[in-house]
Amino acid sequence: MTFRAGSAARDGDGPGAVATRFTGRAVTGERALSGSLTEVALDDGRVVIVKRADGADAARAEAAGLRWLAGTGTVRVPAVHGHDAHRLVVDRVVRGRPERQAAVRFGRALARMHAAGAPAFGAPPPGGPVEAFIGLAPMRNVTGDDWPRWYAEHRVLPYLRTAVDRGVVRPGEAGVVERACARLPELAGPAEPPARLHGDLWNGNVLWGADGHVRLIDPAAHGGHRETDLAMLRLFGCPHLDAVLAGYRETAPLADGWETRVGVHQLFPLLVHAVLFGRGYAEQALAAARSALAG
């Protein structure tokens, strides 16, 4: 790894200065990873990530989510050193290869994290904002005690309306998603208590550590239905997903018929992606809604 020596310390508003402020350590170098991520080397040998958040309260939401998940003592997340209005400083994860036993451990830990619960569906993490984010999309953490109604009103239909307004979903197509939402009480399976969700559990937010343990990053954490996290993990692929699910079900069995409900839980992330990335995801969301209604 090659770091650019010294430059961060001279920039009073740069990633190095932010890292120093929250870690109390001098900076020996930095390396840009992307437009929003910078690796910063500290004088004690550690490396941290300084992440620039694009939306107001995005850094606070992410920091609160990471701390909420870490507080369960189950899944591993990078330690949060601090945040300000626009930047977040966390430990770097040293990456390794996906291994099957690590996947089983991850599944067990994920089940225990979900079981830690939340005060209500839609509840934000302590200290987290109501006006939060999932990726670059706004996400409102409005609470409710009835999952089908809450999921329709606050996770599916807002993104459907935005997708229609942007022309990504045609007005004549929206009805199939609306009908699926209307039938959620019968499609949702047995009632479950609010689970503590990562909320944006796609494969890119699952980091396989060199120490044989998975770490989760970039949460959109809130209280929700545990099958939503699992459905998102399946939607975008995950190495050794069968082992993850085996570890999960060994620790916390899923309600009968959970596999038939995957499409229902994927409506939320698919419509978010339709709003952010366009028509291809809209078509997948419409197909998921049709499949749910046909089933």
> What is the Cβ-side half-sphere exposure of residue 82, based on CA atoms within 13 angstroms?
10
Q: Is the pLDDT of residue 8 over 60?
A: no
Q: Is the pLDDT of residue 148 over 90?
A: yes
* Domain end (from 24, 59, 91): 91
Q: Which entry of 200, 211, 218, 242 is annotated as an active-site residue?
A: 200
Whether residue 59 sits in one domain with residue 162: no
Per-residue pLDDT, averaged over 87-114, amounts to 97
Q: Is the pLDDT of residue 5 over 80?
A: no
* Domain end (from 55, 74, 91): 91
Strand pairing of 137-140 and 195-197? unpaired
* Domain end (from 31, 59, 91): 91
Would you say 62 and 134 are in contact if contact means Cβ atoms under 8 Å apart? Answer: no
The distance from CA 147 to its chain's CA centroid, rounded to whole angstroms, is 19
Number of domains in the chain: 2
Would you say 255 and 266 are in contact if contact means Cβ atoms under 8 Å apart? Answer: no
259 contacts: CB under 8 Å, gap ≥ 6: none
Range of the domain at 143: 100-294
Mean residue pLDDT of the chain comes to 94
Strand pairing of 214-216 and 206-208? antiparallel
User: Which residues partner with 39 through β-bridges?
Assistant: 31, 49
Whether residue 131 sits in one domain with residue 261: yes
136 phi and psi angles, rounded to 5 deg: -95, 5
Q: Which long-range contacts (CB under 8 A, 24 or more apart) does 22-26 make?
A: 22/81, 22/82, 22/83, 22/89, 23/48, 23/81, 23/82, 23/89
Model confidence at 10, pLDDT cuts 50, 70, 90, reads very low
Q: Is the pLDDT of residue 9 over 60?
A: no
Q: Is the pLDDT of residue 3 over 60?
A: no
Quick: pLDDT tens for 170-209: 999 999 999 999 999 999 999 999 999 999 999 999 999 9
Quick: pLDDT tens for 158-180: 999 999 999 999 999 999 999 99
Active site residue 211: no
Residue 3, domain member (yes or no): no
pTM over 0.85: yes
Would you say 108 and 250 are in contact if contact means Cβ atoms under 8 Å apart? Answer: yes
Query: Looking at residue 86, which CATH number applies to its domain?
Result: 3.30.200.20
Higher local confidence (pLDDT), 56 or 228: 228
Q: Is the pLDDT of residue 4 over 80?
A: no
Per-residue pLDDT, averaged over 243-249, amounts to 98
At residue 116, the pLDDT reads 98
Model confidence at 53, pLDDT cuts 50, 70, 90, reads confident
Whether residue 114 sits in one domain with residue 59: no
